[in-house]
Amino acid sequence: MTQTLPDHRLIDGRNVARRILAECKDYTDEQNNLGRLVSICIGDVPETEVYVRNQARGAERAGLPFEQVNWDANITQDEAKQIIQQMNDDASILGVIIQRPAPAHINIRSLQSAVHPLKDVEGMNPASIGNIVYSDVALAPCTAAASVELIKETGLNLEGLEVVMIGHSEIVGKPAAMMLMAEGATVTVCHHLTRSVAMHSRRADVVVVAVGIAGFLGPDMIKPGAAVIDIGINQITDEDGNFKIVGDVQTQAVTEVAGWITPVPGGVGPVTVAILIRNAIVAHKRQVAAGWIS
Ligand SMILES: NC(=O)C1=CN([C@@H]2O[C@H](COP(=O)(O)OP(=O)(O)OC[C@H]3O[C@@H](n4cnc5c(N)ncnc54)[C@H](OP(=O)(O)O)[C@@H]3O)[C@@H](O)[C@H]2O)C=CC1
Ligand SMILES: Nc1nc(=O)c2c([nH]1)NC[C@@H]1CN(c3ccc(C(=O)N[C@@H](CCC(=O)O)C(=O)O)cc3)C=[N+]21
């Protein structure tokens, strides 16, 4: 009988998530009367479904009360802002996350700014995101923090590491680049105007990809032995007509060249969820320290 050995090049995000959620559970076990994490979706956005479903599961595993809130796509900016302000004042609510994307008439940046920094579990309020510049990364955007966590999982020393970040969105690429700098890495950021992404990515020790294009990163774009962190979550239809989630990396081909790689699913996604829950715990500690709750 042949035995299938695990592929040690694959970084198991589910395992990392389990560890983080277990730490959160140790904390929640010691608390009584924890407020709930409120997760808001505006309109019907298929991209956020998996995320919110996994948030509910993660919260349950960590012993954190959770509430999913769906706002009608026609909600006005004023109404949305008012509800957020009420949530800021509601002691039974520990933290708030607003899913992206939102309908075109909603100014999502303004809404994220309305979430009080002490309840901003996603770290997307400009005050929270600004702290990253000061290397204060305790409440950072979840996916960016997940990428750093997964690079650490390889055992590579981040100090002096050459990291190429492909994608510079405000929610992923930019905060990830800042956080990697805070860890001592040398960071190059590529985007759609970069003349040759491959020229940069080929000399990196670690390539982090968040562009939202299935199969974007191929095996000829990395240095042999490099670590590849695949942030992309793209829904495609496979040969049998079934929906399937794939990343931005040609996982099978790149695994033959890489030293480490995060799979999709089972890589960055579960860790993003776990960090959101950990951020809620950080928010709780800060609210206690600020005298908001006891
Ligand atoms: N795993 C997780 O937890 C999460 C996953 N995601 C996934 O990550 C991916 C990216 O998300 P997000 O950052 O929000 O997406 P955005 O669309 O906001 O950003 C994509 C980035 O990729 C850049 N880009 C686009 N085309 C190219 C190209 N040909 N070469 C180089 N750079 C390019 C864009 O540059 P420019 O701005 O210059 O056009 C932009 O900076 C998506 O698949 C999303 O679903 C997102 C959040 C969380
Ligand atoms: N404000 C905001 N912040 C976000 O971080 C954000 C967002 N809006 N909008 C949508 C995207 C997408 N996203 C995902 C996170 C985890 C999984 C996830 O858990 N994925 C599992 C899927 C497993 C399964 O299929 O159940 C995995 O990759 O293994 C998916 C998608 C966060 N996003």
- Which pLDDT score is estimated for 1? 60
- Which pLDDT score is estimated for 294? 85
**Mean pLDDT, rounded, for 210-219:** 98
Nearest ligand to the CA atom of 208: 1
Distance 291 CA to ligand 2 centre (A): 33
The contacts of residue 200 (CB under 8 Å, 6+ apart) are: 164, 188, 190, 194
Q: How far apart are CA 129 and CA 141, in angstroms?
A: 7
pLDDT digits (tens, 9 = 90+) for 232-273: 999 999 889 999 999 999 999 999 999 999 999 999 999 999
Say if residue 6's pLDDT is above 90.
no
The two three-digit tokens of residue 223, written as one number: 């240095």
Q: Which positions make up the binding site for NADP(+)?
A: 167-169, 233
- Which pLDDT score is estimated for 3? 76
The two three-digit tokens of residue 277, written as one number: 């829950």
Q: How many Å separate Cα 143 from the centre of its chain?
A: 2
**Mean pLDDT, rounded, for 276-289:** 98
pLDDT digits (tens, 9 = 90+) for 167-206: 999 999 999 999 999 999 999 999 999 999 999 999 999 9
Decide: 37 and 97 in contact? Cβ < 8 Å. Answer: yes
CATH of 140-269 among 3.30.1370.10, 3.40.50.720, 3.30.230.80, 1.10.3450.40: 3.40.50.720
The set of protein residues with a Cβ atom below 6 angstroms from ligand 1 is: 143, 166-169, 171-173, 190-194, 197, 210-212, 231-234, 268-269, 272
ipTM confidence score: 0.98
Confidence of residue 277 (pLDDT cuts 50, 70, 90): very high
Cβ–ligand 2 distance for 269 under 6 Å, the answer yes
Are 31-118 and 140-269 equal in CATH topology? yes
Distance 265 CA to ligand 2 centre (A): 10
Best residue among 41, 50, 246 to mutate for probing ligand 2, ranked by most atoms within 8 Å of CB: 50
Average pLDDT over the chain reads 96
Distance 227 CA to ligand 2 centre (A): 21
Per-domain residue ranges of the chain: 31-118, 140-269
Omega prior to 46 cis, within 30 of 0: no
Q: Whose CA is nearest to atom 19 of ligand 1?
A: 169
Q: How far apart are CA 153 and CA 84, in angstroms?
A: 36
Architecture of domain 31-118: 3-Layer(aba) Sandwich (3.40)
- The single-letter DSSP state of residue 3 is P
Among candidate residues 229, 227, 231, the one with its CA nearest the CA of residue 245? 231
Nearest ligand to the CA atom of 101: 2
**Mean pLDDT, rounded, for 155-164:** 98
Decide: 280 and 121 in contact? Cβ < 8 Å. Answer: yes
- Residue 265: how many other CB atoms lie within 10 Å: 16
- Which pLDDT score is estimated for 4? 79
Environment class of residue 277 by beta-carbon count within 10 Å: exposed (0-12), middle (13-18) or buried (19+)? Answer: buried
**Which atom from ligand 2 is nearest to the alpha carbon of 172?**
5
Q: How far apart are CA 253 and CA 244, in angstroms?
A: 18
Instruction: Give the C-alpha distances (Å, rounded to integers) separating 35 from 28, 92, 133, 283, 293.
Output: 11, 5, 29, 11, 10
Helices (H) and strands (E) in the chain, counts: 10, 10
Q: How far apart are CA 158 and CA 162, in angstroms?
A: 8
Distance 50 CA to ligand 2 centre (A): 6
The two three-digit tokens of residue 83, written as one number: 């509800």
The H or E element spanning position 52 is helix 46-62
What residues are paired with 66 via a beta bridge?
A: 37
pLDDT digits (tens, 9 = 90+) for 62-114: 999 999 999 999 999 999 999 999 999 999 999 999 999 999 999 999 999 99
**Which atom from ligand 1 is nearest to the alpha carbon of 264?**
1
- Which pLDDT score is estimated for 227? 98
Cβ–ligand 2 distance for 142 under 6 Å, the answer yes
